[in-house]
């Protein structure tokens, strides 16, 4: 059996966006779904954006990557491992991370930057435990630095070479913990950071490089 999603023995997690063939063929945007794999390619979690009615469809159509959303992270047995939620924003996103029981464990907050794509990763007390500073000339890589100077990680967009990805904007992200001593709560926030990065820079933004559509 694969280890739990946020267990410290995982050296890296791989997050693969699932795209439906109907969406690929007719460019009809549906709710976002991801599968999470460990280093042995075991599927250890599913990530899904909460589906809504007509109102949510309109939000997706008009606000696109700036829309409000709620996302659940589910174990293979269906247990909710954590939830991610974000309100509508104009410029700087703020993603809240909760456990499956509803306790806040942190935030992923985008910051202003001219030459870098910046995020602060906050704990449950809203203290910054790590920062992301990705140079705009290395668009696929987002280095993570522990503000305490005790560790680092890396979030990277990777191409799997799959047929769906050739014909779509489906994304694969790697969250590399780089053998640093991140706690389980911090690992939740790091996983959430990869999702926030996907929404901010790669969803519906392939032609604009992450700028407002």
**CATH label of the domain that carries residue 60:** 2.40.160.200
- Check pLDDT > 70 for residue 165: no
Report CA dihedral (38, 41, 44, 46) to the nearest 10 degrees: 110
Residue 7, domain member (yes or no): no
Give the Cα separation of 51 and 69 in Å (integer): 9
Give the Cα separation of 204 and 135 in Å (integer): 20
Residue 96, domain member (yes or no): yes
Residue 102, domain member (yes or no): yes
Residue 6, domain member (yes or no): no
Residue 1, domain member (yes or no): no
The phi and psi torsions of 39 (rounded to 5 degrees) equal -65, -20
Confidence label for 193 from pLDDT (cuts 50, 70 and 90) = very high
Report CA dihedral (175, 136, 127, 82) to the nearest 10 degrees: -40
Confidence label for 66 from pLDDT (cuts 50, 70 and 90) = low
Residue 146 near residue 152, CB atoms below 8 Å: yes
Pairing of strands 141-146, 12-18: unpaired
Q: Which domain holds residue 190?
A: 12-202
Residue 207, domain member (yes or no): no
Pairing of strands 80-86, 69-74: antiparallel
- Check pLDDT > 50 for residue 213: no
What would the mean pLDDT of 65-92 be, rounded to a whole number?
84
Residue 212, domain member (yes or no): no
Higher pLDDT, 25 or 123: 123
Confidence label for 171 from pLDDT (cuts 50, 70 and 90) = low
What would the mean pLDDT of 84-106 be, rounded to a whole number?
88
The model carries a pTM of: 0.81
Domain count, the chain: 1
Confidence label for 151 from pLDDT (cuts 50, 70 and 90) = confident
Confidence label for 93 from pLDDT (cuts 50, 70 and 90) = confident
């Amino acid at each position: 059996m694969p280890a739990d999603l946020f267990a410290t023995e995982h050296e890296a997690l791989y997050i693969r966006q699932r795209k439906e063939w109907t969406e690929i063929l007719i460019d009809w945007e549906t709710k976002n779904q991801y599968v999470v794999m460990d280093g042995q390619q075991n599927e250890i979690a599913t990530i899904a954006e909460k589906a809504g009615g007509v109102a949510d469809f309109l939000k997706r159509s008009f606000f696109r990557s700036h829309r409000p959303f709620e996302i659940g992270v589910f174990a293979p047995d269906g247990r909710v491992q954590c939830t991610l939620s974000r309100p509508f924003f104009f410029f700087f996103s703020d993603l809240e991370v909760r456990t499956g029981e509803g306790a806040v464990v942190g935030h992923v907050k985008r910051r202003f930057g001219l030459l870098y794509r910046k995020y602060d990763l906050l704990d449950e007390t809203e203290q910054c435990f790590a920062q992301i500073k990705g140079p705009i000339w290395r668009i696929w890589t987002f280095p993570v630095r522990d503000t305490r100077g005790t560790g680092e990680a890396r979030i990277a967009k990777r191409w799997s070479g799959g047929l769906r990805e050739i014909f779509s904007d489906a994304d694969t992200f790697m969250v590399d913990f780089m053998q640093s001593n991140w706690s389980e709560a911090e690992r939740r926030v790091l996983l959430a950071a990869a999702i926030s990065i996907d929404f901010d820079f790669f969803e519906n933004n392939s032609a604009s490089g992450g700028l407002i559509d």
